[in-house]
Every structure is written in C-alpha cells, then in structure tokens.
Amino acid sequence: MTEETIHLPSWSQSVREAVLLVDRGGRILDANTGAGRILGCDPEELARMNLRDLIHLPEVANELFVDLAQITSGDFTGVLDVRNFAKQDFPCEFNFHSHPGHDGWLLIARPTIENEDQAERLVLRALQLTSQMCSVEAKVHELSAELLDKTLQLAEEKNKTLAVLTSMGEGLVVVGPEGEIVQTNQAACRVLDLDSESILGTSLKDQPAGTKIAAVGQVIDNLRSSVLENGEESSGPTRIEVQEKVFELSIAPIHEGQSLSESEGGVV
C-alpha cells in the first residue's frame, strides 16, 4: 500500500474531533471535516501542510517530533497550543495512535476545556471587577454625601437670607438684567403695595403707570442710563413722590460674584 492511497477511516467523518493522518516527518496526508472546522480551513488545505505549522511554538513542535521518533508502536498523548488559520492560539489535547499498514500516525485532537490557569485568571478578573464596583459605589456614596451637605448648606444660607430680608425695616427689591423682579421682602411689599407671590418674575416695564413700583422702575432706568453715559455705578438716596407719599430710594448694581449677576438692588 503506497502513501498516496492511504486515507482516513470512514468513521472519522462522523466525529467532531480533528482527525489527521500524519507521516513520521509531520506531513499531513489526510484530514477530516472536524479538523477543518476546528482550525478554520478546508480539509484539502490541511492535506498540503505539515503538522509543525499548526503548533504555536516551533521549539515545542521540534520536541514533539523528537519524542515521537522514539516511539515505534503504541500511543502518545499530550496537550499542545495550536494556532488556527485566524491566528488564534488555543490548547488542544493530542492523541497519536500507530496506524496499521502505515509508518506514521493517526492523530485525534480536541480543544481542551478551560484549564486551571484560565480559571484562575477568570476568578482574578471577577475579583478585580468586584473591587472596581465597590470603589465606584464608595465614590458615588461620597459624592452623594457631599451633594447632600452642599444642599443643606445652601438651604441654611437661603433660610438665613430670608430671615434677614424678613427682619429688615427697609423694603428691598432686586431687579434682574432684563428688568424682571427677582426678589422682594415683606417691607417692600408693604411700602410699595405689592403682592409677594404675583410680583416675582414680572417686568418693571409692564407695571401700571402711576403705581409705586412703576416709579421705582423709572428711577432704575435713569440709573442705567447714567451708567452708560457717565460710567457711574451708584447714586445717593433719591426721593420720589407717588400717590402723595414721599419715598427715599437707594439703588446700587449687584455685579457678578455677588448673589445676583448684573442685577440692580433697590432699598426703599
């Protein structure tokens, strides 16, 4: 029987493992469909290769064939790293069997399950991910505590501010850069006949003519015009008469860095 007429047994085509017929020099003479599936190629391509080409490290391949050369009959088993046609490396269990009528080997190979080293790496990775999650949770908790602390501080400052505004004998009106009323206190509402809830957010320009708040708006407009023309940012107390009552009004701008950016504050 010549080398060219030797083929794999028929049962080899019905198994999932890779089955190869290899001569003593490592040349692959025949391969089943399982070998093509595992290695990512056609069995015909394997039949033109050497087994050494499929073993990841050349020195390991050389050692393997040194060991095989010392065995004339029987079986030889081992685990080697294989490289498939996609250049991916994975461990395979090899079983070399003496092939009757042929001076070579019937090789059965199958990918191994996760080995201990891989299992250890998976466990280590799981521990690392768990540690990272704990670190993230701790950071979130820290940020949440910091946010809560800042919120409480702001609430405390707001309460203090409201307390000061409420206790002031003078009326305070804060006007935004577009002329909208953003803050008043009880004294201002009492002196200017304002409703504290409905007045907030309204514009000075929209106030009914002849009202006290409209007169305040006119004074603020005059101050802004003075700032644009002369660069003056404040004025002394101004007396205005509305509805047979005289009010003393002091106005000063509130610049960025203070409580309201580019706003005007008036004390009446």
Please report the DSSP string for 182-200 in residue order.
EEE-HHHHHHHT--HHHHT
Closest residue by Cα to residue 99 from 169, 21, 19: 21
The model's pLDDT over 41-93, given as tens digits with 9 standing for 90+, comes to 888 888 889 999 888 888 888 888 888 888 777 778 888 888 888 888 888 88
**Contact (CB, 8 A) for 260 and 174:** yes
What residues does 118 pair with on adjacent strands?
none
Instruction: List C-alpha distances in Å: 162 to 112, 186, 195, 199, 264.
Output: 74, 10, 17, 17, 18
Closest residue by Cα to residue 104 from 25, 35, 45, 32: 25
Question: What average pLDDT score do residues 148-156 get?
Answer: 81
CA-derived radius of gyration, the chain: 45
Can you give the residue ranges of every domain in the chain?
3-117, 164-267
The Cα angle at residue 35 between residues 64 and 57, in degrees rounded to 5: 30
Asked whether this chain's domains 3-117 and 164-267 adopt the same fold, the reply is: yes
Cα separation, 138 vs 126, in Å, equals 18
pTM reported for the whole predicted model: 0.40
The pLDDT confidence band at residue 32, using thresholds 50, 70 and 90, is: very high
What count of other Cβ atoms lies within 10 Å of the Cβ of residue 34?
21
CATH match for 3-117 among 3.40.50.2300, 3.30.450.20, 3.40.50.300, 3.30.300.30: 3.30.450.20
**Contact (CB, 8 A) for 51 and 26:** yes
Share of the chain above pLDDT 90, in %: 1
Cα separation, 84 vs 123, in Å, equals 27
Per-residue buried b or exposed e for 38-51, using 16+ beta carbons within 10 Å of the residue's own CB: bbebebeebeebeb
Which CATH number is 164-267 given? Answer: 3.30.450.20
| Strand, coil or helix: 111 | strand
Query: Which run of H or of E encompasses 63?
Result: helix 58-69
The model's pLDDT over 182-202, given as tens digits with 9 standing for 90+, comes to 888 888 888 888 887 788 888
